[in-house]
Structure 1
Amino acid sequence: MYKSHLNRYIIAIGISAAAAGCKAPAIATLPASKAVPELYGNTKDTVNVSNMPWKSFFKDQNLVALIDTALKNNQELMVTLQEIEIAKNEIRIRKGALLPTVGARVGTGVEKVGRYTSQGAGDASTDIAPGKEVPDPLTDLSLSAYANWEVDIWKKLRNSKKAAVSRYLSSIEGKNFVLTNLIAEVANSYYELMALDSQLEIVKQNIELQKNALEIVKVQKEAARTTELAVQKFQAEVLASRSLEFDILQQIKETENKINLLLGRYPEPIKRDKSNFLDLLPSAVNSGIPSQLLANRPDIKQAELELTAAKLDVKVARAEFYPSLDISAAVGLQAFKPSYLFRFPESVLYSLAGDLAGPLINRNAIKAEFNSANAKQLQAMYNYERIILNAYLEVSNQLSKISNLEKSYGLKSQQVNALNRSIEVSNDLFKSARADYFEVLMTQRDALESKLELIETKKEQLNAVVNVYRDLGGGWK
């Protein structure tokens, strides 16, 4: 009677524990995502340059060869590929948790119990025929297989596996994002190198022009038509230009080494076309519509997959509030003498047990884990929205930059032509004593600055096209 009441109390406590364990807090509601604008400007053309493979987008074969080498050897890309391997192995770990753990066990041991213990006293009182008594000390030999399995009642393990899959796919998108940035960085550095080559050539031409002007001033000084001050001013201008030449040479060296670093190799010359840089024409850009960013930008898809994984993590953390069901089983052979080990069925052992357990009193750690998962979910949501907004603004900025640079380049070209003509006019006027040396110096200096600015504007044009190709999600396909 007493045992019956006791069993009822145990059952009642178990049911209460299970009910208490099943109470879990609600998952936080995510805010609604903001809609992406329909257009960048007035165009509704859905043709998107990001769908073009990078080998077709870049026409310079020297640049294509450099990018191809970078994609094979770049160390940052290699690190990202290992992150993909890590994420892939994480899936295997989560998948393994869904299956039973099966193992084999072989064991031996010896046990000597005291005579004045319950076990020893019991053995002494047993009437066993001589030669049939239990050995003392008692050995133990066993050979068995065992299995443990957590039954995934609340989909905790399956959701954990799905989260690992999402993170694996996210790591692939991360690799694609590294690809787009690497291609753009190599291309921008290549155009920077070509611009520096062009600027160096302009400076060398300007030095020759200044040297000729210096010789004219020296002749005029001997004819008492000018002073030593003019000679020294022209001499200083030549020295300043020669100093600028070495500054550009150093920039060329650093830019070459920057490209070599991206290519994962030690310094060596960068093969490139050193013809007129100003003749290069930027590629035409079709930006498509903003909604295409969601499918083309790897960083947006990466953030979306991270958000998916974060949502699954919340479900996993919530399942910790519920009872878990563990099943264990074993089968094998056991005996105290080797000769008895393979006697059937006397030496056979087997077991089967189920265990339902859930948190009852101290659930603070589980609550903290769940709250953290909820916060990370919101964090992933805001990060996803931030990346979409940033992507739209990047494209918008680059499209505006392309348009404004095109107008600026046209005006700077006219400025350079005007200053080139003014150099000839100032030299003629100086020779006929109708202009002083200061006007000649300022004209030459203005012409040099305008030519260098024109080259810089051309480089910015080419870089803007590369950047908009990257920002639209081109290069990784």
Structure 2
Amino acid sequence: MIRSSVTSSSPLKNVNMLALAAIGISFLAGCNVGPKYKRPASSAPPAFRGADEAPVTSDAKSSLGDEKWSAVYQEPELQELIRKALANNYDLRIAAQHILEQQAQVKITRSQELPTLSVGGTGIGATLPSSLGTQIGSPLVDGSFNLSAAWTPDFWGLYRKQTESARAQLLAQTWAQRAVQMTLVQQVATAYLQIRALDRQLEITRDTLKARQNSVDLTTTLESGGSVPLSDVRQAEQLLYAATSEIPQLEQQIQQQENAIAFLLGENPGPIAHKDPNALTPPPQNLPTGLPSELLERRPDIQQAEATLISANAQIGVARAQFFPSLSISASGGVGGDALNNIFDPAGKTIYGLGSLAQPLFEGGKLRGQLHLSQETEKEMVISYQKTIAGAFRDVSNALIALNKQRAYREQQEKLVAAAQDSTRLARMRYKGGATSYLEVLTTDTNLFTAQLNLVSAQQGEALTLVQLYSALGGGWQ
């Protein structure tokens, strides 16, 4: 008996004709109805806005974005944090899994281009009780062994376009992982600078607390001797409590920032090393920015957007290919018999073959709808690609403007702190000499404390401009 995986049969010579037809079709399988991808036109500015005022150079041969993060962030503590984050961060590990998943999807999609082959067999047996007095030479009553194959030639490039789309998605996932890595480096560096600024503000608050405690002691002594009114003591206490109330808030922010960094590192909440005294130093001068046109090749988010656009372009070919006929070829051959010794007898062989051709005629507008959808999706991806490029130029320009303006802001804050320090010193001298009330001391001391905290914020903002510029130029994923 012969068992086949198809429902119709034909003579052996018809199978040969089908084979010849398949060979002929394979030569024509190069047909591809999908559009070829062409990168959309995009205009790059001749220079980054803000580059003429910021302390940078537009050297065409080098760019800060080409540097490895370890060469840009040279603080040992920060380097160690970034290394841990790159090894253990959850988002980065998820992005890596997305790549592996898409690699598997490419294999699944590409398998449609290849023929399928399967093998099988059947067997029916029986054993009669000895009481019947009948002897059976073999327990096998019926058996067969068959081999079947099927193939749908990709005449119009349907499966090839699907594979092209899947591979473009794989490339997009790869660039997405690099974009996550770039963002992660930026996040760790930003969080580290923020926590160092909080540390500095806490130091200033504690130093201010000591000075204000001395003022309370002084005014209390003077009030006991009748030299100053009780109101001076209360005003001195106001300054003291204003400083003491700041300390728990800063400690809260520091510990919460430590937890935020630990999360980026893929660790449980806990303390983080942050004692480097040079963390808030100004960025170096003459940072190279490179040419604006090179940004398209350097930024991973732009590369990801283009890969997604390539995938959408391939989907148009998938939709168009479904308008054309689909040819399927299948064949099955096998042998069979009623005993073990004659199952593989060549005399018992049988071959089946089947070819089918289907042409869509009417599907209620489904095929045209799919084509229209794929075309409109590609237009959306073009806009997204152009938007990503425009956003990249904006990011670089904003970073350059901040690099210049934050430096100027920090310089003015330093002058303000110097003036406030001298004003406070003079007010205390006048108060001790009886030439002014304690209200002047209260006002000048409050202004000094505020100016010192603002100076730290200005130093943090200037240090962050290096992080922003490096990330905007596409650095951190190499």
- TM class, shorter-length: 0.7 to 0.9
Work out whether 1:417 is the aligned partner of 2:425. no
Unaligned runs of 5+ in 2: 1-31, 126-140
Q: Distance in 1 between matches of 2:276 and 2:39?
A: 54
Q: Distance in 2 between matches of 1:194 and 1:355?
A: 72
User: Deviation per CA, 1:396-433, whole angstroms, max 9, x where unpaired?
Assistant: 11110110011111111011111111111010001112
Matches for 1:71-86 after TM superposition, within 5 Å: 71-86=86-101
Work out whether 1:399 is the aligned partner of 2:407. no
CA deviation after TM superposition for structure 1 residue 274, in Å? 4.9
User: Deviation per CA, 1:127-184, whole angstroms, max 9, x where unpaired?
Assistant: xxxxxxxxxxxx7632111111110101111111111111111111000000000001
Supply the AA of the counterpart residue of 2:86. L
- What's the counterpart of residue 324 of structure 1? 326
- What's the counterpart of residue 48 of structure 2? 40
Q: Distance in 1 between matches of 2:329 and 2:391?
A: 50
Matches for 1:170-319 after TM superposition, within 5 Å: 170-275=172-277, 280-284=281-285, 285-319=287-321
User: Deviation per CA, 1:412-461, whole angstroms, max 9, x where unpaired?
Assistant: 10111111111110100011121211110111111011010010111111
Deviates more, 1:48-57 or 1:285-294: 285-294
Matched residue count: 425
CA deviation after TM superposition for structure 1 residue 288, in Å? 1.6
- CA spacing shift, 1:159–1:25, aligned 2, 3 Å: closer
- CA spacing shift, 1:235–1:254, aligned 2, 3 Å: same
Supply the AA of the counterpart residue of 1:406. R
CA deviation after TM superposition for structure 1 residue 74, in Å? 0.5
The two structures, once aligned, show a CA RMSD in angstroms of 2.3
Unaligned runs of 5+ in 1: 1-23, 111-138
- Residue 166 (structure 1) aligned to one of 156, 165, 168: 168
- CA spacing shift, 1:163–1:25, aligned 2, 3 Å: closer
Supply the AA of the counterpart residue of 2:317. K
* SS class of match (2:288): coil
Question: Retained in 2: the 8 A contact 1:329–1:350?
Answer: yes
- CA spacing shift, 1:439–1:276, aligned 2, 3 Å: farther
What is the percent sequence identity of the aligned residues? 27
Question: Retained in 2: the 8 A contact 1:198–1:276?
Answer: no
Work out whether 1:63 is the aligned partner of 2:95. no
Name the TM-score, length of structure 2 as normaliser: 0.84
Supply the AA of the counterpart residue of 1:428. M
Q: Distance in 1 between matches of 2:196 and 2:389?
A: 34
- What's the counterpart of residue 111 of structure 2? 96
CA deviation after TM superposition for structure 1 residue 375, in Å? 1.9
Question: Retained in 2: the 8 A contact 1:260–1:268?
Answer: yes
CA deviation after TM superposition for structure 1 residue 307, in Å? 0.2
Deviates more, 1:382-391 or 1:351-360: 351-360
CA deviation after TM superposition for structure 1 residue 214, in Å? 1.3
Q: Distance in 2 between matches of 1:425 and 1:316?
A: 81
Q: Distance in 2 between matches of 1:29 and 1:62?
A: 46
* SS class of match (2:419): helix
Q: Distance in 2 between matches of 1:303 and 1:59?
A: 32
Q: Distance in 2 between matches of 1:317 and 1:336?
A: 51
Matches for 1:308-457 after TM superposition, within 5 Å: 308-335=310-337, 340-345=342-347, 347-457=348-458
- What's the counterpart of residue 119 of structure 1? none
Q: Distance in 1 between matches of 2:341 and 2:276?
A: 90
Supply the AA of the counterpart residue of 2:71. S
- What's the counterpart of residue 151 of structure 1? 153
Q: Distance in 1 between matches of 2:293 and 2:46?
A: 7
Supply the AA of the counterpart residue of 1:40. F
CA deviation after TM superposition for structure 1 residue 53, in Å? 0.6
Q: Distance in 2 between matches of 1:276 and 1:45?
A: 28
